[in-house]
Structure 1
Amino acid sequence: MNEEYIKRINAVFEYIDANLDSELALETLSQIAFYSPFHFHRIFKMITNETLNNYIGRKRIEKAAALLLHKKDIAISDLVTQLGFTSSSTFTRAFKKYYGQSPTAFRKSNPHKFSKISQLNSKNGQIETNYDTYICNIINLKKWTTMHANIAIKEMPKQDLAYVTHIGVEGLETAFYKIIKWATPRNILENPTSKIIRVFHDSFKITPPEKVRMSIGITLNQPIAVEGEIGLTQIEKGKFIVGRYEIEPVDFEKAWTGLFIWMNENGYTKAAANPFEIYHNNFTEHPEKKCIVDLCIPI
């Protein structure tokens, strides 16, 4: 795919993320991408596999879902206003169409059992969970987290990243290969403080796996010029829950779920920033093929 297309659409992604409470007109977004509206819409759909309107509508509903999960005091009527819906009934219909239940029912659901993956085993959008089994699974997950994670609250500095965008869980290794291939001849990896990072712009709790957008990046210690699909971004300084794990790749979902449970049970609330992973080794070189990784939740 044309690298210039990706670079320009990345700028649109960032604008949409920051302005979901505003009008996001085709003309405005096409100007950000420096394309005609027709050409922009065609390229956007080619990259995201969604029309612009569908993408914006989904992101607004998913933002509402995230706020319902993480901000128990926010009123549903406030979400209608904040996210630009014309009425509560319009918002409720759109939400129920996407998640199979009303915003009120969604809020009452336990946040750890609700995920798009759960719906694969559901009927008519309603999640079927045996309560006793669920509680047993949570207890086992908490024990697993205690055994495998070293968890701390840390103030982390601002981090500059060079990154590539990847959407979905398929072909993820290609994105890691691209950023490593770019960094290697520039000797960035030779700096012991440089780390590979994966930033999650969407949550697997509320977004279908094939639509989750991620930035695969490498930390930078000095300014550098980039071109094509390699972009520059920042992780702002702040307070984070940091869980250090030494785990197999198949255990990442379990590790993230356990860390969010730890967050809730210890009275912390997720901040608006994006969670991310920091990799400290090449798992293929580990004697047990394990990743040494920090999972970071902004609070």
Structure 2
Amino acid sequence: MEEYTKRIVKTIQYIDDHLDADLSLEKIAKIGAYSPFHFHRIFKLITGETLQVYIVRKKIEKSAFYLAVRKEIEIKEIYLDLGFSSHSVFCKTFKKYYGISPSAFRKSAPETFHKIIQKERKNGQIAPVFDPYICKIENLLNWSAMNLKIEVKELPEMNLASVMSLGIANVEPSYTILIDWAKKKNLFPAEHVKMISVYHDSFKVTPPEKVRIHASMLLNKKMSKPEGKIFPEIISAGKCIIGSGEMTLNDFEQCWVSLFLWMNENKYSMRKAFPFEIYHSNFKEHPEGKMLVDFCIPV
């Protein structure tokens, strides 16, 4: 299973980076070094979805994210970049996932920076509802001003050792795997070691049990090759919005929502990179379960 997981991680990384490219079963299976028949079965075993279902879901979730936070991009540009052949095909697929059209989604989402939840109608249909996370945008901005130190600065390239987690419930076990590996390498515990979570999906558009999070450790130098479930990952150098504060785990969602809101209010756009968290302390060692965290959005 360990070797299977390592190959699937490689294919998932390729899919996420090439959503506008040829993502046929034959192409992806070749990247994972499998025959198409075996790859299809293994992919579903590990991810819980067929390859095609996964690809379509990722495209729609990415389009939803851009519709919500990249208002300057035309809808046509979004769906063409993601490989949809026409407006009608895109709209039909999007509505299947979220219950409303892309234009209605874009119009509703920014009004109070709602989060998406799924709610069952009386007739049994599933329709997305924009549930206010905080009643007014002003409250969120005030909260972030009081609880986060926000700045924009250049960060250097970061070399990571990572373990992929599918679903929020699997993040802690992934860190356990990573720390056990680091102990054998005499990399942990260390005074200046930093743990980092890299979010390859957004909770706004991806169900919590399907969100892909990389549990990572900052290294002094790049890993030469994968080792079991541990694989190398690089966070590219560049400008980031950084919100720093001492938080409990229950505060994290509010931190991210307010930080993305701050990004929009200050006319920044997210670049093609994944948001991440840098941990400077361990919440398990704090009497109130708090930890020092940098919430980082590449812009």
TM-score (norm 2): 0.92
Q: Distance in 2 between matches of 1:145 and 1:167?
A: 29
What is the alpha-carbon distance in structure 1 between the residues aligned to residue 245 and residue 21 of structure 2?
39
Paired residue type of 1:266: N
Question: 2: CA distance between counterparts of 1:136 and 1:231?
Answer: 42
- How far apart are residue 161 of structure 1 and its match? 0.5
Supply the AA of the counterpart residue of 1:234: I
2:246 partner letter = E
Residues 133-152 of structure 1: pairs in structure 2 closer than 5 A: 136-152=135-151
Q: Flag the 1:162–1:135 CA change in 2: closer, same or farther, 3 A.
A: closer
Structure 2 counterpart of 1:248, which letter?
A: T
Greater shift after overlay, 289-298 or 185-194? 185-194
Give the aligned partner of residue 125 of structure 1. 127
Deviation for aligned residue 1:136: 3.4
Aligned length: 294
| Partner Cα distance (2:241, 2:29) in 1 | 38
**Structure 1 counterpart of 2:92, one-letter code:** R
Give the aligned partner of residue 263 of structure 2: 263
1:232 is aligned to 232
Aligned-CA RMSD value: 1.9
Q: Secondary structure at the match of 2:115?
A: coil
Give 3-state SS (helix, strand or coil) of 1:93's partner: helix
Q: Give how far 1:103 is off.
A: 0.8
CA distance in 2, matches of 1:192, 1:134: 37
Query: For residue 216 of structure 1, what is the aligned residue in structure 2?
Result: 215
Q: Is the 8 A contact 2:113 2:137 kept in 1?
A: no
Q: Note the C-alpha offset of 1:135.
A: 6.7
Matched with 2:107 is: 108
SS at match of 1:151: strand
Secondary structure of the 2:6 match is helix
Give the secondary-structure state (helix, strand or coil) at the position aligned to 1:211: coil
In the alignment, structure 1 residue 45 sits paired with structure 2 residue 55: no
Deviation at 1:128, TM superposition (A): 5.5
Task: Name 1:83's counterpart in structure 2.
Answer: 82
**For 2:8 and 2:256, how far apart are their aligned partners in 1?**
29
Q: Where do residues 1-299 of structure 1 align in structure 2 (5 Å cutoff)? A: 2-111=1-110, 113-116=113-116, 118-120=117-119, 124-127=126-129, 136-225=135-224, 226-299=226-299
Q: Return closer, same or farther for 1:80/1:152 CA change in 2, 3 Å cut-off.
A: closer
Do the aligned residues in 2 keep the contact of 1:23 with 1:84 (CA within 8 Å)? no
Q: Aligned AA for 2:19?
A: L
Between the aligned partners of 1:73 and 1:212, the Cα distance in structure 2 is 26
Percent identical: 48
Q: Is the Cα contact below 8 Å between 2:277 and 2:293 reproduced in 1? A: yes
Q: Answer whether contact 2:108 2:130 (CA < 8 A) is retained.
A: no
1:222 Cα shift? 2.3
Q: What 5-or-longer segments of structure 2 have no aligned partner?
A: none
Distance of 2:170 and 2:13 partners within structure 1: 22
Aligned equivalents of 2:97, 2:222: Cα separation in 1? 42
**Local SS of the residue matching 2:135:** helix
Code of the residue aligned with 2:129 in structure 1: it is I
| Aligned-partner Cα distance in 2 for 1:211–1:78 | 26
Q: Which amino acid aligns with 1:279?
A: Y
Take 1:210 and 1:80, find their aligned partners in 2: how far apart are those partners?
A: 26
Post-superposition offset of 1:280:
0.7
Mind listing any 5+ residue stretches in structure 1 that lack a counterpart?
A: none
Deviation sequence 1:81-125 (CA, Å, 0-9, x none): 222222211110000111111011111123354433x33477741
With normalisation by structure 1, the TM-score equals: 0.92
Deviation per residue, 1:38-71 (Å, 9 max, x gap): 1111111111111100000011111211222232
Structure that is richer in helix per residue: 1
Could you tell me whether the CA contact under 8 Å between 1:283 and 1:289 is conserved in 2?
yes
CA gap 1:139/1:74 in 2 versus in 1, 3 angstroms: closer
